[in-house]
Structure formats: C-alpha cells, structure tokens
Structure 1
Amino acid sequence: MSEADITHPPEPRTHGPLADSQGIVFGALMAAFGVMMLTHMGLVTGQTAGLAVLISYATGLPFAGVFFVVNLPFYWLGLRRMGLAFTLKTFAAVGLLSGLSVVLPRYVTFGEIHPGVGAVLFGMITGAGLLALFRHGASLGGVGIVALYLQERFGWRAGFTQLAFDACVFAAAISVIPPDRVGWSLLGAVVLNLVIAVNHRRDWYVAR
C-alpha cells in the first residue's frame, strides 16, 4: 500500500441495485421469521414491530395490516431527513415484511420453544436482518427511521435509541401479556439491540 493510499483512502464503493435488492429481501425475510417465532411464543418486542404485535394481541387484528399502517406516519420523516431512496427502500422492506408474515405461516410451523432460547434466537435473527437493511440504506420504518436519523445527525447509536423506545412498549405490554412473558420479551429486545449497537458502525463498514 502506498503512502497516498494511507493518507487518501479510496472512496467507499456503493451498493448496486442487485446488492440492495438481495439485502432488503434478506433483511425482511429474517425479520418476518423472527416475528413469526416471537408471536408463536406469545412474546413482544420493541420498535414499531413490537407496537404492532402488542396492538394485534390486544385487538385481534392481523399483525401484517397493523404493522403496515403503524409505519405510515414515519415515511414523511424518512423522506424529509433521509431522502427518497431511503424512504422507498424502507417502504419496500415494510411491505415485504407485512406480506411475508402472511405467507410464511403456510410453510413454516414451530413446536415447543423455550421462551429464553427463543428470545435470544429472535434477537440474533432479527438483528441480522436489521443490519442487512441498515447497510443497504433501508429500515423497517418507524423508530428505525428516527434511530438512523439521530445516528447520522448526532452520532447516537441506533440500537440504544431503539432500546429507549422499547422500554415504553414493554411498560404497556404488562397490561396485555403475563409478566414472565414480558421478562423474556425484554431479553429478546436487549439481544436484538446489542447486535445492532455493536455491529452497526460506519467506521467498520464503509460500503454504502
């Protein structure tokens, strides 16, 4: 490596349409699988997905429709602060997650899952999916948009911002699901947000 390469490193390469598409599909599929596992155990999570799960439990409405509607108000912020490309990718990811959450149960079923093990697996699987979306300029809407904006604007870790919102969701969950399920749900949310907080760093990942 030459001195010029050290003092003036090359500009990060951008993801192409094919790379972005597979990243968004992968991220949405992992998140949909994680949510399916989560609801099978009767747990909740944070972010807008967790809010949608909680509303679904409380009202009996299908998660897919609730999740899609809950995210609608956040697209304005995404468009205003993160740009058209980010907003369109996020809209696609949210739409895919909503659709996959309807389709997957036709092909995948679960038996008995210990809630502690399931919560950790949910956090890891969904965290990996969110990392893929973040790295390809997308999110699952809602709090993810706010968290990414705050990270870009102020340097606040996206995972920690989402963890604060999660605390509010879990406080509401106590009136909807048993306390032990809230505890296991909290474990899953902590694992998910730690995956994001530890791995989603711009200085470690330079492609755009």
Structure 2
Amino acid sequence: MSIGSDARFWDRASRNYAKGAVADPTGYERTLTRTRALLGPGDRVLELGCGTGTTALRLAGNVRDYLATDFSAEMIAIAKERHAAEPMPTLTFQVATVETLTSEPTRFNAILGFNYLHLIRDLPGTLRHIHGLLAPEGLFISKTPCVGEMNPLIRLALLPAMRAIGKAPYAGVFRASELGEQISAAGFDSLATENHATKGNDNRPYIVARKR
C-alpha cells in the first residue's frame, strides 16, 4: 500500500462518498459554527483532505481566500461540480497534498484538517509541513478519528482485514493524547480540545492549535 493506492481507493469511493449522509448533523453544525468563529474576513484558509467540498462550500464565504485540496482527483472533480452549481469567488479546489504546496509563496492564516490526520502515513512530517505553511501565529484546526481509542476488535481485526481486501483505506492508529503530543512537537500550542459529538461514541477531538 502507498499514497498512490490510497488516492485510488478514494477515487473509487468518491461517488458513493458524495451520496453519504453526515452521521451526526448536529455535531457537524457545531464544528462549522466553532470554526467559522475562528476565521476572520481577511484570512487566507487552506483545507487539507477536503473530499467532495461540503465543508469548504459552507465556510469559504466568510474569508478572503479559501483553497480546498485533496489528493483524490475524483473527489476534487465532484467538489468542482458542486462549486459550479454554487459559485463562490473566494473558493478554489485543487488536487494537492500538503507536501506539494510547500513551495508555494502563500502563507495561510488558518489550515483545516477534518477527518484527515488519521489517513496520513507520515503524521510528524505532515504536521511539520502544516507548520511551515502557516503565517506567524496561524491556526491549525483539526477534527479526526483517534483510531487508537476505538474498540480493539475494530482496530486490530476488522480494519486490517478490510484494508487487505481493498475495502478500507490506510488509517493511522493513535490516541487523542498521542495526537496532542505530536501537534505540540511540531511547533504548536494547543488552545482548545473539544468534543462536538451529540450522539454515539465519537473519538474525534476538535483541536485548535496556534503556531509557535
């Protein structure tokens, strides 16, 4: 398995993914409201792992520039279709990874990664790249599943079996405390760690961190 195979998995899954409903709509709205309050009208924002663009289309109207990226070309194709139906001049969709963006001169006031960090193969490296792309005291805002806190049967048996037959993507295994340590080690100060779930056992902490 590789980053290329990960991208192909999401390419294949893109149309079904686009049809899926948000599992916890109230929790999702809470995340959007909280994030919107952290973004200013003059901000340049980067979203990593934007998928089919649902969150970008909800947030981009409140900022100066919003670049939404994903490594899946099919996900971005769907996002662009949605954008064409709902034009927003501040929003751009692009096939990219954080690594391919490091040479860009733009520095962002905020970088968002929702349901993203657990899908990254090199978490420390990705966090360092995010740090480098942020303007001084810029914010990194994350909400991602902490697989290390899931039921051991799912984490140790079901997920590896599904990955082996191509029915699940790569997923890194870490606990919320470990994720916080990694973010701190990459040069961030944690400002908030919150739980936005309104139903079920949600292991996705919402984290706001500021670049040191």
- TM interval, short-chain normalised: 0.3 to 0.5
Query: TM-score scaled to structure 2, two decimals?
Result: 0.33
Which structure has the greater CA radius of gyration?
1
| Greater relative contact order structure (CA < 8 Å, 6+ sep) | 1
Bigger strand fraction:
2
Query: TM-score scaled to structure 1, two decimals?
Result: 0.33
